[in-house]
Structure formats: structure tokens, C-alpha cells
Amino acid sequence: MQTEEFTLVRDMLRSFATRHRVWSADEVTPRTRAAARQALDELGLAELRRSSPPAATVQECALLAEEHGRQPLTTSLLGTALLAPEVSRLLGITAPASLPTIALARDLRFPGQHPSPLVAWDCDAADGALHVAPDGTVRQVALGPPTRTADLLRSVRAIPDDGEGEVVGRLGAEAGQRWQSYALVVVTAELVGAVDAFVELSTDYARDRRQYGRRIGSFQAVQHLLADARVLVEACASATRYAAWCLDHEPAGRALAAARVAKAEVNTSAVEAVYTGMQVFGGIAQTWEHVAHLYLRRVLVGADLLATTADLLTTLAEPAPAESSPADTGALTPTAAEPETTR
């Protein structure tokens, strides 16, 4: 889209996020979820990646995901508005009239080669889920009851085991690589926004909080912690934005490699940076009423979401294949059976 159009969309999302953010776990209620969901639907962001060519570039979608991650929001922007429409677009089919999200393995990673129970991730207001199998087959599956996750802001529901769902298409090798790249970039971008905002919050706290008659931000040890955290955030942002650029301009294989590198970087650096913020906040960050643990939970779950660091480094260490094959679109997870618990 044009620069002016994107600026308008970003500003609308920023205004929405400011109005509907929650500052305590006690504010996460069905009523606040419904109000936020309705307001997000009115923005029409699900249309950004439905058409071919899409209305928004991957770089623009990544920046919107980053903006969404900056505030503690209960809305399913990633699952229903960015990821599921991208699957339909890559399949070359008309997006379903229903509002689907995406289905992941029960440990919230890309589904592996072995059958595993599935869950619908980021599924607030969704009425179905799209499951992309390792061979590229895409099925639409029904949703079951809610299931628990450590991320208190995000809705996750089980997938019934009584059927595999209706086959809606199959992604080829290149489309499968682009789907994985896009999913990794969008999820990673939201984590960048979350950790960036949390480091800013902890820095502001250090400027105001007084101990022994002095602001703690004047202590050199605290300054070093926050400076190191800022460097980590910038590394995460740089790797993620480069991966998004690659998806818009580079071949599928190179884009996938960049997306894997970005996710591996964020998996480690974002966790370290958010731990630093928790240290700066001190004991107040350990309380239920404080917002800190909402950011911490999102980052910790996000570090294992889609692919862990071990998955990614193992894959990146392998020689690049000369030609893509359907197997190249498979999951990044090990071939061992998936754990049965949801993060």
C-alpha cells in the first residue's frame, strides 16, 4: 500500500491498542475480549493479505504485528487476521466466509511428521482452524473446548480427535516455504514489539523509582542492565525486519533462512531482555496485579512458538538443498513425538 495508507492503518491500530490494552490479569474478561474483538474487526485488517497481490507487504504486516505486541491485548490479530488469510491466499482459493485461525501441534510448534493432537492458536472469535501438514496439505478443522496456556492474553482451543477435517488444498514446495517464513516473521515481529515496550516501561520505572533517596536509574549497575537490554532489542528488530524484507524481495529459500535466523535470535535475546526488565522492576513485577508478568508470559511462550531455538539451529546447520521438494515444507520440529502439554 502507499506510505500514506500504511501510516493511516498503523495509526488506527495504535489508537485501538491504546484504548483496549489491559494493565492487569484481572481485566482479562469475556466482556473486555468481546469489545476489543469488535473494535479490531472494524479495522478490516484481515483484508490485508487476502488478495493476490496482497494489499500490504510482509514488511508492513510485520510492523503492524510489532505494534500489536507493544500493548497487552487480548485480540487475535496474528491468528485470524494475518496468518489464516495468508494460507488461503497461497492456496489461491477464496477465503472462507467463516473466520478461521491456524492449528498447531499441542506444544504450539509447527506440526511434525508424526501425528499429534492439535490446538487452534490465537483463536479469539474464530470458528474454525486451518491445519498445514508437513506435506503441504491444508485441512479446515473444527474447534473444541478452550485449553489452558501460560499466555493469559491469548485464546487457545483444542481440536477434536474425531476427524482430520476437510481438505481445502495443498501448498507446493515454494508456497510452503513462504508460509513458514511468513508465520515465523509475523510471530517474531509481535515478540519484538512486546519486548521493546517492556524494556521502555522498565526504563521509565528506573527514572522514577527511588531507593536510598536516589533514582535507581542513576545507579551504574542498572544503567548497564538497561543498555544491554536495549542492544538485544535492536538486534531482534534488525533481524526480524530484514527477514520481512527478504520475503518481499528474495527467493523463498533465502527468505525462509532469514526468517529462521530471526526467530532464533528473538527466542534467546527477547527472553534475556525481558528478564532484565523484571530485575529492574524488582519485587513489584512478581505481583499478580502488575502488568509485567503479562509481557513475560507472552515472550516466554513466544520463544517456543512455531519453532524453538534448538529446532532452528539444527535446521540452519544443515546444508541447503539444491532443489526444493515437498518435504522441504515440513515442520521445523524434531521427528520425535510431540509433548502433550500446551505452553
3-state DSSP of the chain: CCHHHHHHHHHHHHHHHHHHCCCCHHHCCHHHHHHHHHHHHHHCHHHCCCCCCCCCCHHHHHHHHHHHHCCCCCCCHHHHHHHHHHHHHHHCCCCCCCCEEEEEECCCECCCCCCCCEEEECCCCCCEEEEECCCCEEEEECCCCECCCCCCCCCEEECCCCCCCEEEEECCHHHHHHHHHHHHHHHHHHHHHHHHHHHHHHHHHHHHCEECCEEHHHCHHHHHHHHHHHHHHHHHHHHHHHHHHHHHHCCHHHHHHHHHHHHHHHHHHHHHHHHHHHHHHHHHHHCCCCCHHHHHHHHHHHHHCECCHHHHHHHHHCCCCCCCCHHHHCCCCCCCCCCCCCC
Is pLDDT at 43 greater than 90 in this prediction?
A: yes
pLDDT value of residue 125 = 87
Q: What is the largest CA-CA distance in the chain?
A: 66
pLDDT tens digit string along 4-13?
999 999 999 9
Residue 337 pLDDT greater than 50, yes or no = no
Q: For residue 212, what pLDDT is reported?
A: 86
Above 70 in pLDDT, residue 321?
A: no
Give first-to-last CA distance, the chain, whole Å: 36
* Reported confidence tier of residue 322, pLDDT bands at 50, 70, 90: low
* Domain spans in the chain, listed from the N-terminal domain onward: 174-329
Cell output for 178: 513462504
pLDDT in tens, 131-165: 999 999 999 999 999 998 999 999 999 998 755 78
pLDDT at 181 over 60: yes
Q: Encode pLDDT of 171-180 as tens digits.
A: 999 999 999 9
On whether the CB atoms of residues 330 and 109 are closer than 8 A, the answer is: no
Confidence of residue 112 (pLDDT cuts 50, 70, 90): confident
pLDDT given at position 320: 67
pTM listed for this prediction: 0.91
CA distance 185 to 60: 11
Q: What is the pLDDT of residue 327?
A: 41
Bin 136: left if φ > 0, else alpha if -120 < ψ < 50, else beta: left
Q: Mean pLDDT for the chain?
A: 89
Considering only residues 340 and 33, tell me which one the structure prediction assigns the higher pLDDT: 33
pLDDT at 334: 39
Mean pLDDT computed over 253-276 = 96
- pLDDT band at residue 248 under the 50/70/90 scheme: very high
pLDDT attached to residue 268: 96
Share of the chain above pLDDT 90, in %: 77
pLDDT of residue 114: 67
Grade residue 323 by pLDDT with cuts at 50, 70 and 90: very low
Domain at 174-329: CATH code: 1.20.140.10
Average pLDDT, integer, range 313-335: 58
Q: Residue 213's pLDDT is what?
A: 85
Q: Which pLDDT does position 95 carry in this prediction?
A: 61
